[in-house]
Amino acid sequence: MSRWTRLILLISVGLNLGLGWTVLRSVRDGENRPPQAGRAWRDRPASGDSAGWRRMMQHRVDRLSSLLELEPDQAARLQQLQKSNAPLVRAQRERIEAARLQVRTVADAESYDGALVRGALAGLRRAQADLDSLTQEFLMQELALMTAPQRARYLELLPLDPWRSGRSGGPTGPGDHDGDPGRSRNRRHRNE
Residues 48 and 27: their CA atoms lie apart, in Å, by: 18
Q: Is the confidence at residue 185, as pLDDT, over 50? A: no
Same domain (yes/no): 30, 119? no
Number of domains in the chain: 2
Q: Which of 37, 142, 43, 39 is nearest to 89 (CA)?
A: 142
Give the amino acid at 141: Q
Residues 12 and 16: their CA atoms lie apart, in Å, by: 6
Same domain (yes/no): 130, 71? yes
Model pTM score: 0.55
Read off the pLDDT of each residue in 144-168 and give the average, rounded to a whole number. Answer: 77
CATH code of the domain containing 120:
1.20.120.1490
Alpha-helix runs per DSSP H in 29-71 = 39-43, 50-68
**Structural domain containing residue 13:** 1-44
Same domain (yes/no): 115, 21? no
pLDDT digits (tens, 9 = 90+) for 32-89: 444 344 444 445 555 566 677 678 778 888 888 888 898 999 999 988 998 888 889 8
Q: Is residue 175 part of a domain?
A: no
